[in-house]
Each structure stands twice: as structure tokens, then as C-alpha cells.
A and B are shown apart, each in its own frame.
Chain A
Amino acid sequence: MNPQPSKIASPPPAADGSRVPYGVFTSQAVYDLEQERIFRGPTWSFLGLEAEIKAAGDFKSTFIGDTPVVMTRTEEGRLAAWVNRCAHRGAMVCRQLRGNASSHSCVYHQWRYNLEGDLYGVPFLRGLNGQAGMPADFDRKANGLRKLRVESYAGLVFATFSDTVEPLTDYIGPVMGGYIDRIFHKPVEYLGCTRQFSNSNWKLYLENVKDPYHASLLHLFHTTFNIFRVGMKAHCVTDERHGMHSIIMAIKQDQGETSAAYKDQKIRSFDSGFTLEDESILALVPEYEVLATNHIQPIFPQLVIQQIHNTLVARQLLPKGPNAFELVFHFFGYEDDDAEMRKLRIKQANLVGPAGYISMEDTEATELVQQGVVRDGRLTSIIDMAKDAPEQSDTLITEKLIRSFWAGYAKLMDVDLQTLVEA
């Protein structure tokens, strides 16, 4: 019988991100530290689309990490966000998912706040009929809701607890900003959201959206239906600042080049005999300068921008304890879509989300990891693909985006992960 090794011989994750102890996916201590150092630390978390709160007073309840927050639009049309917790006794103030209100009051004792989060109403502030109320020195101005810094980039709303993190545009950086501009180059319209819950750690999902290697191996839709993907040019890069944002693009080549590449490489390994009766689901109406079938762009920690064919989604990733996360898929189109284009976007929703032809396997896979590593927090995964070619960015067979993520994660957490998971 082989004894389980109690120590690993690999370098710690901070070095190059290629060895990550599984305990980071299961440990409550790691999770609690993440809430402080990541979600309440120097990061900007995605809350939603400006298109969801167009009118003054429109609001949406959401989360930064696992802290409930509300984003809203003020009377002056500005964006505001605050922690959804009454300053008085801690009750959630806003109890609806979304709506419109000119103020928010806590049902418990009816403390009332304006849209900016300032406290202005306290019942019996001065007591009643000569009986005492709040102390005379109680300062409403100093007892509002916990306000957050809010900024938007191209219609995407972000907030942060941090007073020190750089402005949002710098946090995103020019490289990632350019890719966001590609999708958000004109006004968008919110088309609704779908929600998916997974019994696995939120970072497993981030690994997944930084992992082009799994795409053709886990998701067999294209190969099963003999949809040629040869000649697709890949593009995998990270942001220049901390390496935790990234993009994977699969770029369509012109037809001649594609078939030549196909002939040369004989990539199609089997002919299953299956064909799609309705291929419109894989239509690709050109909308951007670079014709890509897939644009998958995580902006750490809570956003993944997605263009798959003509379906457009801003996915919000929300941790729900060490062993669970929720995904909220915010579907959108452009304000100037015609009816046909809008219909195509809705039809191609079949490709993505919990029932998506090329996505339903993802949460299955992350849950398999969560189940597999349950008792082996000190062991590590192997994240080596294309490690010897760090300059290579035109391949899908790479795990460099994941390595870059873990290196940035260790830095942000400012802790030796091996020590933490062994504690």
C-alpha cells in the first residue's frame, strides 16, 4: 500500500502558479481571508449593467463576495451602492431583488435612508410625549449605510470597499479595456438573467474560464456534430497589471485558410454521423472588427464577459461559502438590434448557461474536483500545460492564464497558501 505523502515537493503557488494546494477550494479559513483581502480588499467587483437601472430610483440587490449590497441610481442620475445592512440593528434594508424606490427604509424599526445611503429618518428620534428618544448627540450623518465607491466602465457597474484601490479604468487596464470596448462599443439593452448554483468553490469556475485546454475535450458538441473548428486562431492574454484578468478568443479565419489548415492537419478525428437539423444556432453574424466565435473575459473577481457567436452575457460570479458559488448570467443585446438579430441572440442562449450545449459540463467538472479533493487539501493540482513557452499566446492548448491567476491570487492574499491550508 502506498502511503499518502503528507508533504508535497512542488514549489508553493506564489512562485509560478503551477502548483495549487487543493485546500484553497475547501478551507473555511481561506474563504474568510478571501472575503477580507479580495472582496473587501483592493479590487473592483462587478454588480450589474447600467442598463438594469436606467431610471432614477431603480435598484438591484446583489453581493460583493457574500456581503449583500444594493446598487441604485440617484435622483441626479448618478450610480450609488451601499451595504444592505441597517445601521441600527443590522437588518437587511432592501428586501427585493430589483425595483424602483425614492428611498429605502428598514422594516424592523423604519429607519429611512435616501438613495445615496444617508440616514434621514429615525422614528421617535426625539422621543414621545416628553419621554426620551435617541441621545441628543446622536448624529444621523455619521450613521448612514456603509457606502461603497462606485464606478462604471462602458456600462458595467463596479463597486469596492477599498479607499486605496486605483480608479476602475486603471484597475481594468488598457489591454483588458480594449477587449471590453470591443463588446461594449454601443449602448446595450438588458434582456434578463438566469442563475446557476454549483456545489464547488468559486475559484474553480475562474480556473474554468481561464482554461482553453478543456474546451474541445470536455465540451463535445462541436466534434459530435462535425462542426469544423480547424483554422480557428486562438488568442490568450492576461492584463499587464496583476495578471488576474484575462481573455480567451477563438478567432475565425477566412474560409480558404480554414480548409487548407484542415487538409494539412487532418484534425477531425472521427465522423460521428450526426448533423444538426437547425444550424442557425451556430450562425455568426459579423458585428465586430475581429470575427471571433468566442470571447471569454474574466475581470477579477466577479465578472466574466462573454460573447459566444451572437449571444452576449455578463456573468457575475458570487462565492457562497467555500463549497458553493452562484452564477448570474446577465443577457444583453444592443439597443439598435433589429428583431431578427434579437431573435438570434435569444436562440443562441441555447449554447450557454446551465442548459448550454457548450457549457452545461462546466459546473459538473468543477463539482467533480470539489468532491475529489475533499480529504487532500495539502496535495496540489498540476498546471503545467505550455509552461515552457510563456511567450506563446496564439494557442488554446495552454494553462498559462490559470498560472498567472494563481500567482496574482497568492500575492493579493499575501500569505503562503501551503501554510494556510495546513493550519
Chain B
Amino acid sequence: MDMALRQTLLALQDEYISTLDTDALELWPEMFVDDCLYEIIPKENEDLGLPAPVIYCDSKAMLRDRVVSLRNANIFQPVVYRHFFSGLSFQVGGDGCIEMWSSYLVINTSQLGQSTVYQTGRYHDVVVQAEGRWRFRSKRVIYDTSRIQTALAIPI
């Protein structure tokens, strides 16, 4: 296994998670290429080959729209996410892209101080080098926790 590449990919996932967990949402779209796919979809649909998503963005512009809306339009309980990920596997694709998979766990803590498992699932990512760094061409968030508690405001 290419350990250097593995370290690079681990660092990319760490950066992604850190961006969300520190509420640096404005930096989140910048981790994607312009012509990207970001999708959150229940495993239930994925397994049946059905497309219904919770979030489906097919451009970086749509990711920026989501952030502006969350910051200025939508009303939701303050979210404190802590992401954990494990089980990274990857393979190098033909055009220099890398396809990777990992498991994730998100703990959410309410204003009253209760921490609960908010969601578990699997990331299925395609990353490429673009404009001097690794970026997501596609990030598909395939979640196991099919019953979403109350709402899903902040991306996973």
C-alpha cells in the first residue's frame, strides 16, 4: 500500500471533518471542485438503486447556496457535531483520481448538553488534484441512521 498517499487522504478527511466540526462552513465548498457532486442519501435507497436524497448538490455553486441559506435563512437548533471516521480504503483511478471509502460517526450535542449518536454511515468519495491541492470531485454520504432526528441542517 502507498503509505504516503494514505497519509494524504487521511489528512484530507481530517481537514474536511475539522471544517464542519469547527463551524467553518464557508470553507466547506472550497474543498470541492467546481463541477462536483455532494449528496446525502439513505443506505435504504442506495441499496435498492433508488435516487431519493436528503441533499443533492451538483455544483460548488449549490454548496455555497446551502451555506448562505443556513447562515441567513434557515432556522434550526444550534448544532454541535463531532465527526469520527475509520476504515479508510482507496483505489487509484485511471485519470489520476482516487476513489475512497470510509465509515463515519456523528455525535450531536444539544443545547441542554445531551450528546447522542446523530448519524452513522459511509463516505464514498472521488478526489482529484486541482488548483494545487486535493479536492472532492464527488462526496456521497450514504447514511445508515435512516430516521433523521428532527432535521438535518449542517452538512455531514
Contact = CB atoms under 8 A, between A and B. Distances in A.
Interface of A: 97, 190-199, 218, 220-221, 223-225, 272, 274, 276-278, 281, 326, 329, 331, 342, 346-347, 349-350, 353-355, 357, 360-361, 363-364, 367
Interface stretch (B20-28, B101-109, B147-155): B147-155
B85 interface: no
Interface stretch (B10-18, B54-62, B121-129, B130-138): B54-62
Given A272-B72, A361-B75, A278 B55 contact: no
Contact of A355 (B54, B62, B146): B54
B48 interface: yes
Contacts of B149: 197
A263 B112 CA distance: 47
B80 interface: no
A192 B148 contact: no
Leading 7 A-B pairs by shortest Cβ distance: A192-B50, A192-B52, A192-B45, A224-B73, A277-B61, A331-B52, A355-B152
Given A329-B52, A346-B53, 15 more contacts: A192-B52, A193-B42, A193-B44, A194-B148, A197-B147, A221-B74, A278-B61, A281-B65, A326-B147, A347-B56, A350-B57, A354-B54, A355-B153, A357-B74, A360-B74
Contacts, number: 118
A281 B73 CA distance: 16
Given A347-B58, A361-B75, A198 B52 contact: no
Contacts of B87: none
A237 B70 CA distance: 33
A349 B68 contact: no
B84 interface: no
Interface string B77-88: 100000000000
B83 to A, nearest CB: 17
Interface of B: 40, 42, 44-45, 48, 50-59, 61-62, 64-66, 68-69, 72-77, 146-153
B148 A195 contact: yes
Nearest to B50: A192
Contact of A194 (B42, B65, B68): B42
A346 B55 CA distance: 9
B153 A360 contact: yes
Contacts of B64: 277
B71 to A, nearest CB: 9
A196 B147 contact: yes
A31 to B, nearest CB: 20
Nearest to B55: A355
B150 A197 contact: yes
B40 A224 contact: no
Given A197-B147, A221-B73, A224-B73, A349 B54 contact: yes
A306 B64 CA distance: 27
A220 B75 contact: yes
Nearest to A220: B73
A416 B47 CA distance: 48
B81 to A, nearest CB: 14
Contacts of B55: 350, 355
Contacts of A329: 52
A278 B62 CA distance: 6
B54 A191 contact: no
Contacts of A223: 73
A195 B76 CA distance: 18
Given A191-B52, A346-B51, A349-B56, A224 B147 contact: no
A221 B44 CA distance: 29
Nearest to B39: A346
A364 B151 CA distance: 8
Given A97-B44, A346-B52, A354 B151 contact: yes
Contacts of B44: 97, 192-193
11 contacts: A192-B42, A193-B45, A195-B146, A196-B151, A197-B147, A199-B150, A221-B74, A224-B72, A277-B64, A281-B65, A355-B55
Given A277-B65, A347-B58, A360 B151 contact: yes
A225 B151 contact: no
A13 B55 CA distance: 40
